Amino acid sequence: MSAMSIMLAAVGGAVGAAVRCTIGHGVYAAGMPAWTGTVFANLLGAALCGVLAGLWMERHGSGWRWRGDRWRQEVIAVGGFCGGLTTLSALSDDAAVLWSAGHATTAAVDLAVHGIVGCFVCALGFLLARRWVRARYCAA
């Protein structure tokens, strides 16, 4: 791994973390429980990661990650921005706080939403992006 890769991931991660923080504060200011900000940020990051993967795979073939001709975009967008936007540590903290406050059902629903819905929106983003590229560039 090069110093450039690390720097690009750090820049993308910083921007992603700032967006996550903004989402969290916005959700809380709107009167929603603080843990829902983590849900929104993680689902947005999962969907965006799916879209990016779908776009890159459809445009460039299989093996979309870390190819020499486009590694900079992938490092900053997927590893950096999506990695900074999504967060396992905040998810874990939210679930632990909910559980210890006596909201075990809410904690379980929170974890299920992240896992099940997160995978679903990532796959949906992937499929929609691939369909969009095919419709746009492969139409006869």
- At 20-43, the pLDDT tens digits run 999 999 999 999 998 899 999 999
Task: Find out whether 125 and 47 touch, Cβ atoms under 8 Å.
Answer: yes
- At 39-58, the pLDDT tens digits run 999 999 999 988 988 887 77
pLDDT computed for residue 56 by the predictor: 78
Helix intervals (H) in 30-69: 35-60
Annotate 94-122 with b (16+ C-beta within 10 A) or e (fewer): bbeebbeeebeebbeebbeebeebbeebb
- Identify the CA nearest to 80 among candidates 136, 6, 130: 6
| Residue 60 banded pLDDT, cuts 50, 70, 90 | low
Minimum mean pLDDT range among 117-121, 124-128, 129-133: 129-133
